[in-house]
Structure 1
């Protein structure tokens, strides 16, 4: 099985990491279209306590357009999700959907190229977050 995610541990606290990830995504041409606070949702819907956990729906419009032009149904695989979560030991993990693997499922050369290019950008985000 190919990898579907890659991750990095942040040296910063949770709130700082969420801000840093958002800014690093922006520097690579991504916007955050959605932000799902999983911990707050679990508390509101199930009255369950959960460590801080957010899913950021990141989108690079240039690459999203290329993928949609090649395969209109690709929207079901967009945006690129990035998870920021606090672990049991207090460390903060940042987990990225691997667009190269996920978009590679389509078996379309144009989409595979988009997946490769976006993966490179997200890897730069991961590298920036891991160094901070």
Structure 2
């Protein structure tokens, strides 16, 4: 099993970030956390380190109803929440990569049927968001 769902989009980085946020919201996810890896590396390690990763943003996406179901079924699942979504683009790239954690990774760590149901639903919503993003380009 692959732990990430990955697509590429023909959008500039900033536009891809906006579209990812929109599609996450359209599929029931809010963004709880945001880590600008590029900015953090630049501040802590200098611009050369930041340039090695390019533009790189980690969004902590959460569907409150699904999170509540997972935490009720197994409180330790909080260690795996929220669902990380990465938007990244190397300086020399002509596409932006969008990745979402595969919620089925939760199932690998739990035998709970309730966790399987949450993972299945979360997976369907994240895949729907990624599917809506596929094929987008800056001319649309």
TM-score norm. by structure 2 comes to: 0.89
Match of 1:114 among 88, 113, 118: 118
Equivalent positions of 1:7-46 (< 5 A) are: 7-46=6-45
SS in 2 for 1:49: helix
Q: Which moved more, 1:42-51 or 1:97-106?
A: 97-106
1:104–1:115 contact (8 Å) kept in structure 2 = no
SS class of match (2:50):
coil
Confirm whether residue 56 of structure 1 aligns to residue 55 of structure 2: no
Distance 1:68 1:111 in 2: 9
Question: Is the 1:98–1:119 Cα contact (8 Å) retained in structure 2?
Answer: yes
Question: What 5-or-longer segments of structure 1 have no aligned partner?
Answer: none
Structure 2, gaps ≥5 residues long = none
Structure 1 residue ranges, 4+ long, deviating more than 4 angstroms after superposition: none
Aligned counterpart, 2:100: 96
Per the normalisation by structure 1, the TM-score is 0.95
* 1:24–1:128 CA contact under 8 A, matched in 2: yes
